[in-house]
Structure 1
Amino acid sequence: MAGFVHLHVHSAYSLLDGAGRIEDLVRTAKELDMPALALTDHGVMYGCVEFYKAARAYDIKPLLGCEVYVAPRTRHDRKPRLDDRLNHLVLIAENEQGYQNLMTLVSRAFIEGFYYKPRVDKELLAEHKDGLIALSSCLAGEVPARLLAGDEDGALHAAKFYRDLFGPNNFFLELQDQNLPEQPQLNGKILSLAKKLNLEVVATNDVHYLRREDAVYHDLLLCIQTGKSVQHADRLRFPTEEFYLKSETEMAHLFNDVPEALTNTRTIAERCQVDLKLGQMHLPKFPLPTGLSAEAYLKRLCRQGLERRYQQVTAEIEERLNYELNVIQRMGYSSYFLIVWDFVRFARKQGIQVGPGRGSAAGSLVAYTLGITDIDPLAHGLLFERFLNPERVSMPDIDIDFADNRRDEVIEYVTDTYGADHVAQIITFGTMAARAAIRDVGRAYDFAYNDVDRIAKLVPTEPGVTLAAALESSHELADLYEREQWVRNLIDGAQKLEGLPRHASTHAAGVVISARPLVEYVPLQKTADGMITTQYPWETIEEIGLLKMDFLGLRTLTVIQETRRLVEEEQGDKGRSIMPLNDHATYELLASGNTFGVF
């Protein structure tokens, strides 16, 4: 492997801090003829699988990492002024064990150590150090921060600690040169410290955006993060325009007197070998009655369901059921159906309103006999192959609707059944849509609200519309863009930031259940209200082979449940689970228009 490698890189998943999109970073690294690239976002691993796939697609080696926050005392301490200063430390997975340890560290930082930021401490680092390469980080790292403060003994002690913890071949001191006034002297001290402790150094650039000219857009992003405008003198800002993905030539020019700092980056990249093995399935095991396999138990339940669902079981029904069971068994999804059957059964027993079925799952006779759905696929000519097709290997996907005021009870039941460390909800990211990006950038530039609002309203309201498309479709917007410099600045800034992740939240329905503790497959985090979520979005959850289910909370079902209660209370009539599809009175009501909130 030849060439310099960037080992300290932030993507847009360093939310409102990194301005580089993952594919852009990887593509640019390839264009710069770099053999590998690291991803080390602040405190999170949101983009690791996306980055891994992109790097493989561009035929460069992905180095999976994170710039973690280290608590000054312990991860449990949360006293103002004592515990709000955080030390940065870059960690890169050298192998699969390192990747596992990185996921554990990042997860426990959120779940156990969150205080403004997710924090590890030295105890956690000692527990999960194996397979990791550590770098001393930027000016906010413990070693450089102590050197800057004149605490050379403290810096020596910290460097010794990390050297002894990770091993002398797995802890490197970073040299950076973004033309900051304090860096020449600091780098001299770091080199002296490296010599004293027999440590190696690496050149890094703390990359936060793609090219030098993107610094202005990164500055806007920081304004959006802090809620301040570019006019604020005391706002958070990067002091130079040097935090971009520099070429090997540029880095060699900066560190021509320390060539080993460049070659060491390549050496580290050569050492790193992480294979994520995407596409393998890790389905949970349903707790079975003694002596029964999942296939046998599923078949028994379906047979029992046939007797309940049909007065007469015809040859056609038998043939369809056997066909579906054979496909399910061949594809290894028997446990999946048992899991869904179990929590739907729980919901019904608890009097929680469950939807009749939606999407392609309504085409499954197995789902119908198990009571997962209430729609007879044979009576309605629905195809099983739309749901599960042996020619198209993919995870089954049954969306289950529950009354929205009792959905959490079902999730709690699943958590109790499979274990709290095996169940989590799924993260999702809110991104900057076209209009929102205009408004955000307008605030960052401190443009007049009414002027920005007028421009934003020229963008069509259709879902997914881009600013490029808006400039094509709106002659007024295009004309203002050409004539008014402030509009050009506004739109240019918004286009650069459009589509970047703005915040993390919880998927409205997604729940993941795993065979082993989830942290072995995916990094986790805790939300402000104490909910555990994955750090990978649902697309990635499927790619790494985990079982994703949609537990949808529908207000409509809550209304139906309450309506039934009132009918029973007033008329003593419990009603039927499904009204006839040709009920004349129902059609008359719909035709009258005297309805509201019909789903």
Structure 2
Amino acid sequence: MYLNVHSYFSLRYGTLSPEKLVKKAVELGIQTLALTDINTVSGIFKFVQLCRAAGIRPVAGVEFRNRHQLAYVCIARNLDGFAEINRFLSDHLLAKTDFPLRAPDFQQVYVIYPLENGNHLTDLGSHEFVGVPAAPSSNRWRHGRKWEPQQTVLLQPMTYVEKAGFSLHRLLRAIDHNCLLSKLADHETILENEYFRSPADLEAVFRDWPEVIRNTQNLLANCTFEFDFSTPKNRKFYTPSKQDDLNLLRKLADEGLRDRYGSDHAEARRRVDGELKIIEDLSFSSYFLITWDIIRYAHSRGYHHVGRGSGANSIVAYCMKITDVDPIALDLYFERFINPGRTSPPDFDIDFSWDERDEIIDYIFKMYGRHHVCLVANYVTFQDRAAYRELGKVFGLPKAEIDELVANPQAARPNEYTKYIFKYARELEKFPNYLGIHAGGILISETPLYQYTALELPPKGFPICQFDMHIAEDIGFAKWDILSQRGLGHIKEAVDWVRKNRQIHIDIHRIQDFVRDEKVRRQLQSHETMGCFYIESPAMRQLIWKLQCADYLTLVAASSVIRPGVASSGMMSEYIRRHHNPVNYVPVHPKMQELMKETYGVMIYQEDVIKVAHHFAGLTLAEADLLRRAMSGKYRGKDQFASIEGRFFENCKAMGYPDDVAREVWRQIQSFGGYSFSKAHSASFAVESYQSLFLKTYFPLEFMVAVINNFGGFYGTEFYVNEARRWGAQIEAPDIQQSEYLTRIEGQVIWLGFIHIKSLEKNVIQELIVQRKQQNFTSLEDFTRRVPAGLEQLIILIRTGVFRSLGDYTKKELLWHAHALVNNYAHHEGVTDLFELEQAQLALPPLWQEAIEDSYDEMELLGFPLLTPFGLLADAVQGIAARQLPMHEGQMVTLTGYLITSKRITTRTGKPMVFGYFLDVENNYFDTTHFPQSLEKYPYRGAGMYLIEGKVVVEFGFPSIEVRKMEKLPFKPDPRLEGITQRIEFKKLRHNQQFLE
């Protein structure tokens, strides 16, 4: 009888999670239930799993709506019918067109029209029905109907349970329409009788027309959803057959084995053969080969990649050059990636440059078929206090109050609405708000994806499915994560610049050579890492300094130790101490030392969770992996997790561990939270760090140009420009004859790109470059004749110094010429003068200009001065230099520093404190710590120069300053403002004189 049930996947409409929906069905004794969410099948597979566990027969369907107008409800008779529904739904969602008012001629789908639509239909097919609601007013269907009695079924929507559910529905509808609750139209909400009703209640409504109930029950009895969750759903073969896949995979692995290890490496041979056996047994050959094909295509286009994640545990992946992480050297285990006991399929994480990823995805769609490929969705929920903001708007709170409520709900001022906001925000927090896109997940299916999902087309341009990665795993998909990052972008571009500027070709995948290179080792040890992927932040630079990190394995550990889970537990500090004195410590238990000898008994990798849970606490490998996934935020089964936690402590007691030891080990596991890395993941990050390090060591200027052009580092452009200067570059402002859209390098000279000039329009830049390619500009007049730039754009170019190579003119002289030229010259785009006219010569009085004016222009238009900012100080630089800090350990010192960045955190007492990062007059970096008491008295006052006084603290050789006092220093006055002030004063004086006259 339940043909029209909504879950909260009817976005901003439904009020019931699939769990609550099935729980209510069990309470009411319902035996068959159809889920028909609005224009989506997002909840179907979770619903089916829950129904099967509860002994309920699930039925799948969709309610088709054009905005608020119900067209019909479709019920799948079987899996083929489900595919029909998905294909029809996809066709309209992808094309963004309305559904027709008459459903297509489905073969395995029942179509139910609402009563108001059914009255107009005279030719219902055998698969079509008219649905009547369970309301007294629906009795009119019996009189004047145009369809047969056997084609009448019960269509009673079920959207909420109790009265509060109806209120929640109305709030969701107001959120969806972005309107006040009081302004929500009645037709935009359900009727109050659309609650979850019992079978007895529904039968009582139709006691005089039992055929309606009988027809409904017969329809449901003819529907099944016999879905097999256990079989893999990925594309079965890369080649035409399984055997061909195995042969090709072995051929590639063997070739790579010889290339990576030589022909007589027994351990590598053993591992390759062992992995190939598991890959064959679990039918993962095509998964490896498709990944290899994607990377092969990328390399054919000249694109770089990094293979990371748990896939880097595989020696077969290493031999196929899917990854550059040597699992033998790092003692990585394939079972972390694929093993028969894993509760979920594995996936490869493949990183490409941010500007190349879309082309790779496009290749995958074209290569494997648009009906067989999709991006994975994710549900963006109302979490992170989004519910407070949305409910605040619905209740009409002023923006200031909403901001206050979101920032600190506990401190919100009480009023007549806040009690309702708090009540419903708790319920809404886990509700899906809208369908988003997973960071990189892609599915490649053996059968058309309509067997499993409808497809939608987000603004990104590639179709997405209607379920998330968890459901994809549940139904048998192993996904590919095709990710993007700017770190790879600057590595690729740096390699290109080295080839152009130095005529040197670099094989950037020679990682084994890089990790053994002495100059690279010294570069790492000296913590000169600005611009280098993952190791450039102040916190990472500090860690490298404290560890005296000079090798690959230590950097791999550092990549994981830096994560908040390890750091917040206190284990980062403990790891550093044990690294410097590996024999002088007492492990929490000898077994922990045995399991994690490499990391001095400290858990720093996700694999350590598996080791400890299995070998220390006696959990099975499957349970240990489930625990690992839960700790990394990839599992949502709270009940099962609680069961594993209980078993952990039971086993520890049975194995004779003291309670305090068991609790401490569990605390260390918990401290990982969602932040720990797998060892293979850390190793992959370290590979990319070494690629950056190699480039910065041997080709620092080309490397910094690439970092500048990719706009994705930890710091602002100013500090990468300064870093290039530190390494010997001559920095030039954008120039009319030399600069391109992006920054470029020629020899030792770096020409900043036009892109850095604020408020300069892109079309002006493009036309400038086009015209210059035809012929160099000869004068400002020549430029204004050929490039249609208005006076405002021309002034920006002049003040930036773009025309400095066209003659010995000051900016002020050029500004005079610009006004004369633009006011007296009519631009006709695309039309050149027939004859080149002689340039007018304007006689100008001497125009005074100070050199410091250029720096102020640059700060305004580029965002930073090209000369050292210390030259702008009103007074002389005070204090010692950063290089002298270690000599003053424990002493009070004074420094002058230029603020690079700062990080604000909250202490355990709820007070703010800040870590600062500064540049000194000698172009060296130093770090500061501002505890709450100091920060309250001497807060940061924005970008600029500061006089800092504090105590020098040295920890493991790393010096920093505990700030006691800090003062922002003034710059020299801006000479440009003096003229403006004089003109304003003159106008005031003239106005007063006129008033007196």
TM surpasses 0.5: yes
Distance 1:240 1:284, change over 3 A: closer
1:103-142 paired onto structure 2 within 5 Å: 103-112=86-95, 114-115=96-97, 117=98, 119-120=99-100, 122=102, 125-126=104-105, 129-137=106-114, 139=116, 142=117
2:62 is equivalent to residue 62 of structure 1: no
Match in the other structure for 1:81: none
- Are the aligned partners of 1:223 and 1:236 in contact in 2 as well (CA < 8 Å)? no
Amino acid at match of 2:364: V
Name the SS of the counterpart of 2:181 in structure 1: coil
How far did residue 137 of structure 1 move?
A: 2.6
How far did residue 392 of structure 1 move?
A: 3.2
Mapped to 2, the partners of 1:290 and 1:30 lie a distance apart of 46
1:191-206 paired onto structure 2 within 5 Å: 191-194=142-145, 197-206=148-157
Amino acid at match of 1:423: V
Q: Which blocks of at least 5 consecutive residues in structure 2 are unaligned? A: 538-712, 716-997
2:130 is equivalent to residue 173 of structure 1: yes
2:84 is equivalent to residue 101 of structure 1: yes
Distance 1:434 1:488, change over 3 A: farther
Mapped to 2, the partners of 1:301 and 1:273 lie a distance apart of 44
1:198-237 paired onto structure 2 within 5 Å: 198-232=149-183, 234=185, 237=188
2:4 is equivalent to residue 8 of structure 1: yes
TM-score by length of 1: 0.82
Mapped to 2, the partners of 1:287 and 1:333 lie a distance apart of 10
1:61-100 paired onto structure 2 within 5 Å: 61-69=57-65, 88-100=71-83
Amino acid at match of 1:98: G
Name the SS of the counterpart of 2:104 in structure 1: helix
Structure 1 runs (4+) deviating above 6 angstroms are 289-292, 591-594
How far did residue 250 of structure 1 move?
A: 3.2
- Are the aligned partners of 2:261 and 2:268 in contact in 1 as well (CA < 8 Å)? no
- Are the aligned partners of 1:133 and 1:171 in contact in 2 as well (CA < 8 Å)? yes
Candidates 22, 28, 45, aligned match of 1:26: 22
Candidates 319, 327, 352, aligned match of 1:377: 327
Mapped to 1, the partners of 2:447 and 2:391 lie a distance apart of 44
Distance 1:272 1:192, change over 3 A: same
Distance 1:196 1:402, change over 3 A: closer
How far did residue 567 of structure 1 move?
A: 3.2
- Are the aligned partners of 1:556 and 1:598 in contact in 2 as well (CA < 8 Å)? no
- Are the aligned partners of 1:522 and 1:535 in contact in 2 as well (CA < 8 Å)? yes
Mapped to 2, the partners of 1:60 and 1:173 lie a distance apart of 25
Q: Which blocks of at least 5 consecutive residues in structure 1 are unaligned? A: 71-83, 148-154, 460-473
Mapped to 2, the partners of 1:338 and 1:85 lie a distance apart of 47
Match in the other structure for 1:544: 475
1:189-588 paired onto structure 2 within 5 Å: 189-194=140-145, 197-232=148-183, 234=185, 237-238=188-189, 240-288=191-239, 293-355=244-306, 357-392=307-342, 394-459=344-409, 476=411, 484-528=415-459, 530-575=461-506, 576-577=508-509, 578=511, 579-580=514-515, 583-588=521-526
Mapped to 2, the partners of 1:102 and 1:289 lie a distance apart of 30
Amino acid at match of 1:19: T
Amino acid at match of 2:6: H
Mapped to 2, the partners of 1:288 and 1:106 lie a distance apart of 32
Amino acid at match of 1:171: E
Mapped to 2, the partners of 1:332 and 1:291 lie a distance apart of 9
Mapped to 2, the partners of 1:290 and 1:204 lie a distance apart of 48
Match in the other structure for 2:901: none
Report which stretch shifted further, 302-311 or 575-584. Answer: 575-584
- Are the aligned partners of 2:80 and 2:451 in contact in 1 as well (CA < 8 Å)? no
How far did residue 98 of structure 1 move?
A: 1.8
How far did residue 201 of structure 1 move?
A: 2.6
Deviations 1:102-143 (A, max 9, x none): 22222223234x23x5x2564x711xx12222222365xx22
Distance 1:278 1:194, change over 3 A: farther
Name the SS of the counterpart of 2:114 in structure 1: coil
How far did residue 559 of structure 1 move?
A: 1.9
Report which stretch shifted further, 484-493 or 248-257. Answer: 248-257
Amino acid at match of 2:17: R
Mapped to 2, the partners of 1:91 and 1:290 lie a distance apart of 38
Deviations 1:447-498 (A, max 9, x none): 2222232222225xxxxxxxxxxxxxx5x57xx6xx7543211111212222
Candidates 29, 33, 40, aligned match of 1:44: 40
Mapped to 2, the partners of 1:214 and 1:289 lie a distance apart of 53
Amino acid at match of 1:491: F
Amino acid at match of 1:51: F
How far did residue 220 of structure 1 move?
A: 0.6
Deviations 1:136-161 (A, max 9, x none): 2365xx22xxx5xxxxxxx1xx1x33
Deviations 1:428-459 (A, max 9, x none): 22111141101101111112222232222225
TM-score by length of 2: 0.50
Q: Percent identity?
A: 28
User: Which structure is higher in RCO with an 8 Å CA cutoff and minimum separation 6?
Assistant: 1
Mapped to 2, the partners of 1:335 and 1:591 lie a distance apart of 39
Distance 1:189 1:530, change over 3 A: farther
Amino acid at match of 1:90: V
Deviations 1:177-231 (A, max 9, x none): 46xxxx72xx233223558634343333212222233111111101000010012
Name the SS of the counterpart of 1:580 in structure 2: helix
Mapped to 1, the partners of 2:355 and 2:451 lie a distance apart of 32
Distance 1:176 1:568, change over 3 A: same
- Are the aligned partners of 2:150 and 2:211 in contact in 1 as well (CA < 8 Å)? no
Match in the other structure for 1:469: none
- Are the aligned partners of 1:95 and 1:272 in contact in 2 as well (CA < 8 Å)? yes
Mapped to 2, the partners of 1:193 and 1:528 lie a distance apart of 47
- Are the aligned partners of 2:84 and 2:450 in contact in 1 as well (CA < 8 Å)? no
Amino acid at match of 1:430: V
Mapped to 2, the partners of 1:234 and 1:87 lie a distance apart of 16
Distance 1:403 1:137, change over 3 A: same
- Are the aligned partners of 1:191 and 1:201 in contact in 2 as well (CA < 8 Å)? no
- Are the aligned partners of 1:90 and 1:134 in contact in 2 as well (CA < 8 Å)? yes
Distance 1:585 1:220, change over 3 A: same
- Are the aligned partners of 1:17 and 1:222 in contact in 2 as well (CA < 8 Å)? yes
Mapped to 2, the partners of 1:414 and 1:591 lie a distance apart of 35
Q: Answer with 1 or 2: which has the greater Rg.
A: 2
How far did residue 312 of structure 1 move?
A: 4.9
Distance 1:206 1:414, change over 3 A: same
Report which stretch shifted further, 188-197 or 506-515. Answer: 188-197
The count of corresponding residues between Structure 1 and Structure 2 is 530
2:14 is equivalent to residue 35 of structure 1: no
Name the SS of the counterpart of 1:401 in structure 2: strand
How far did residue 32 of structure 1 move?
A: 1.1
Distance 1:67 1:304, change over 3 A: same
Mapped to 1, the partners of 2:19 and 2:333 lie a distance apart of 38
Distance 1:196 1:369, change over 3 A: closer
How far did residue 252 of structure 1 move?
A: 3.6
Name the SS of the counterpart of 1:526 in structure 2: coil
- Are the aligned partners of 1:514 and 1:547 in contact in 2 as well (CA < 8 Å)? no
Mapped to 2, the partners of 1:529 and 1:322 lie a distance apart of 41
